[in-house]
Amino acid sequence: MRILAAMSGGVDSAVAAARAVEAGHDVVGVHLALSRAGGTLRTGSRGCCTIEDALDARRAADLLGIPFYVWDFSERFRDDVIEDFISEYKAGRTPNPCMRCNEKIKFAALLERAIELGFDAVCTGHYATLVPTDDGLELHRAADDAKDQSYVLGVLTAEQLAHTYFPLGTTPSKAVVRAEAAARGLSVAQKPDSHDICFIPDGDTRGWLAEKVGTATGDIVDRSGAVVGAHEGAHAYTVGQRRGLKLGVPAADGKPRFVLEVRPVSNTVIVGPKEALATAEISGERFSWAGAAPTESRFRCEVQIRAHAEPVPAEAQVTAQGVTATPDVPLDGVAPGQTAVLYVGTRVIGQFTIDRTVSAAPVPA
């Protein structure tokens, strides 16, 4: 196959490209420039897609003896990922930019260009596996649960899965990947993994949003509507948050309170007890299937709402209005804007963006 290897500059993508070469594929490496800040440098495990990362990717490609290019996707990344992130927070939702990047950049924009240029598949260093069936490819969890990235790939469609290649999916651990990189002479063998949101490398999401969205003083209220504090911008809060509330009125029971809801139109933040974070039902209109769609409109599954959260047994229902998942036990601290990924065993069935939640704790009279 003709393979376009997406090389981020990290150890995973370098080893994935090396395995593609070793398997006899015709491989070309490409690094995606996602930022117009040309002088951006990486600090430890903060951020990614920097000048240092591009140079690391080039060195790996040179060692593997494959052609290497840098493609400027910064405009598309700004429009589809960064602006989406800002607009979602403005709307009181909690987005996952990694999901949007995979959906809009790595497996849409990049894959589209790859196919136009005659490549058969895009290779990445994601930890997930593809299983061929009579109905096409299925997306499954990786062999290493600790590194499994099938959640952030849940946005991929059957057509996209048909043109993807995940050489690391069956690898038992990240330690094996690092050892292999060292044995191959790759300089990134011990490079730290990237953490945090790549376009907010200092990790100060609240400060970054304040700069982009601005600040506006508003009320923090409890579930009865009583004002218990003030804030400088509802966008700085997310469901489940406890720190940074600085409430002036203590709870009657003396227990800490958590953010239960963000209402951007009224610039209000609703707080309450931890038990009020329990969510009995989630639903969303925007959904997709990772491979063949379910044959039944109602089916048993497991639902996962964060990249490293434990999956929870649930019943899913598909209607003309979208997808609803009812977990067997309440989910904790679900925020609109998050992505719910549905599994059956190790297989990813599909995903939906959470628009509506139903609390398992009634509001006191």
Give the pLDDT of residue 365. 55
CB burial readout 244-262, b (16+ within 10 A) else e: ebeeeeeeeeeeebbbbbb
CATH number belonging to domain 215-272: 2.30.30
The pLDDT of residue 195 is above 70: no
Fold that domain 2-183 belongs to in CATH: Rossmann fold (3.40.50)
**Identical fold between 2-183 and 277-359:** no
Among 3.20.20.70, 2.40.170.20, 2.40.30.10, 2.160.20.10, name the CATH number for the domain at 277-359: 2.40.30.10
104-137 pLDDT per residue, tens: 898 889 999 999 999 999 999 999 999 999 988 9
The whole-number average pLDDT for the span 168-188 is 96
Report the pLDDT averaged over residues 70-85: 91
CA angle 246, 252, 255 (to 5 degrees): 60
Helix (H) or strand (E) holding 84: helix 83-90
Which residues are the active-site residues? 101, 198
Taking residue 173's Cβ as centre, other Cβ atoms within 10 Å add up to: 13
153-170 pLDDT, tens digit each? 999 999 999 999 999 999
Instruction: Give which of 28, 53, 155 is closest to 102, Cα–Cα.
Output: 155
Q: Domain map of the chain by residue range? A: 2-183, 215-272, 277-359
Q: How many CA atoms lie within 13 A of 84 on its CB side?
A: 19
What is the pLDDT, as a whole number, of residue 51? 81
Neighbouring residues of 116: CB distance < 8 A, sequence distance ≥ 6? none
Q: Taking 60 as the threshold, does the pLDDT of residue 92 lie above it?
A: yes
